[in-house]
Structure 1
């Protein structure tokens, strides 16, 4: 159980870093490298950007749940 929680935590941490870096900010971000910057600047908030937001929030919630699981495992498990 501990190994599965730790592996899930590492995977979600790396995925969360990538997803946050893909978001478009004032400077354009990494999403402009993949062609997302042009489309986003024309329409304001595109469907791709909304889906990226939803995916980032979902991965963030999974990450928080895994953090709580690891903490509970350290406190009560062995």
Structure 2
């Protein structure tokens, strides 16, 4: 079980970094931190709707994987399967 727990921890680290990067790639919707760091300039440029939808889908899937890994690691901790 220790090998599985280590693999899940590595997967958690990878998905965490990828989620941070993908969330930062999203187009600012106006207001908030996006405008503070120049997001207002990029939001006026026309971007592909398909690319934004694909970015949303990838982010959602990675978020679900991240949540499942967290739950499984919590079960390992709770029931002492390590």
- The TM-score with structure 1 as length reference comes to 0.78
Q: Which runs of 5+ in 1 are unaligned?
A: none
Give the number of equivalent residue pairs. 69
| 1:37 Cα offset (Å) | 6.6
More helix by share: 1
RMSD: 2.0
Q: Give the one of 51, 56, 59 matched to 2:59.
A: 56
Q: Which runs of 5+ in 2 are unaligned?
A: none
Q: Deviations over 1:46-78 (max 9, x none)?
A: 100000000000000000000001001111212
Q: Give the one of 20, 23, 33 matched to 1:20.
A: 23
Find the aligned partners of 2:44 and 2:17 in 1 and give their Cα distance. 23
Q: Deviations over 1:10-58 (max 9, x none)?
A: 00000000000000012338xx4xxx97332xxxx61000000000000
Find the aligned partners of 1:48 and 1:37 in 2 and give their Cα distance. 16
- Which one has a bigger Cα radius of gyration? 2
- Deviant stretches of 4+, over 3 Å: none
